[in-house]
């Protein structure tokens, strides 16, 4: 039953070999099936991405406010007389 529907949708016909009795399809047009599948996959991917983006925005808006940490202490400069790291030469 599925074969009749598939052949109707793909515009193909079933034939049987007279010698080996094997069945095969002829005249099947695969291009619309492949392009339709790719288009459906693209649409599903775009809608999924939109849903994920929307859910992440909603979650970020309803999340608890960020906790503020105390300001970090500033780093002391190097004592005078020591060369900076930029003056060092790489070993050869």
**Domain spans of the chain, in order of start:** 2-62
The rounded mean pLDDT for the chain is: 80
What is the model's pLDDT at position 41? 97
35-63: b or e for each residue (b if 16 or more CB lie within 10 Å)?
Answer: eeeeeeeeeeeeeeeeeeeeeeeeeeeee
| Residues whose CB falls within 8 Å of the CB of residue 92, separated by 6 or more in sequence, listed in order | none
Tell me the pLDDT band of 33, cut-offs 50, 70 and 90: confident
What is the DSSP secondary structure assignment for residue 2, as one 8-state letter? H
CB 13, CB 27: distance < 8 Å: yes
What is the model's pLDDT at position 75? 78
Tokens of 52: 């994920």
CB 51, CB 36: distance < 8 Å: no
Considering 17-21, 35-39, 72-76, 84-88, the range whose residues carry the highest mean pLDDT is: 35-39
C-alpha 72 chain-centroid distance: 39
């Amino acid at each position: 039953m599925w074969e009749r529907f598939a052949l109707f949708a793909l515009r193909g016909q079933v034939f049987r070999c007279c010698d080996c009795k094997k069945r095969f399809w002829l005249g099947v047009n695969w291009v619309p099936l492949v392009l339709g599948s790719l288009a459906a996959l693209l649409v599903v991917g775009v809608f999924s991405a939109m849903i994920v983006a929307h859910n992440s925005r909603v979650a970020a808006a309803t999340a608890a406010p960020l906790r503020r940490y105390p300001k970090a202490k500033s780093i002391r400069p190097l004592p005078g007389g020591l060369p900076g790291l930029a003056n060092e030469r790489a070993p050869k």
